[in-house]
Amino acid sequence: MQLRKSSDYSLRVLIFLARRKGAHTTIRDVAQAHEISESHLMKVVQKLAKRGYVSTLRGKGGGISLARSPGKISVGDIIRDVEPFTPAECFVPGYRGSCKLYPNCRLRRALCSAQSSFLATLDEYSLNDVMAPNPVCRPARKI
């Protein structure tokens, strides 16, 4: 499964903020550290703030910081909140069934199962786990 840039950038922002240990920082600092457009990061940070991952403070001495402890933020939750999961057209909300296979399609079930497994694996990791200097790759487990 491939994540969109906004999910990648969301994770980068959150990991950057987690490493700052509660200190406020600016979007410019994050953008420069990761060589990402500030305007694009503004949209990402707004979404993260709306979802309760990031606190924002305006004015002198303001900036952005994590709203919760990195150990209490699930990578799976982040991805669910920022990634529109539509591996096939039939996953789009309100799908009307234009695919001829839709009424009896078993591929949808397989994709749904794979998506659930993917997210369940990400649920095993907190933001704290993925910001470690050398995260260990856990082998896939059979469900």
Q: Does domain 5-130 match CATH 1.10.10.10?
A: yes
Task: Please tell me whether the overall predicted TM-score, pTM, comes out greater than 0.75 for this model.
Answer: yes
The residue extents of the domains of the chain are 5-130
Q: What is the pLDDT of residue 141?
A: 55
Q: What is the pLDDT of residue 126?
A: 93
Query: Which residues 6+ apart lie within 8 Å of 49 measured at CB?
Result: 55, 56, 64, 67
Using an 8 Å Cβ cutoff, are 24 and 57 in contact?
A: yes
Q: Name the packing angle between helices 38-50 and 27-34 (round to 10°).
A: 120
Which tens digits make up the pLDDT trace of 85-113?
776 777 777 777 777 777 777 887 888 88
Using an 8 Å Cβ cutoff, are 81 and 51 in contact?
A: yes
Backbone angles phi and psi of 128, in degrees to 5? -60, -40
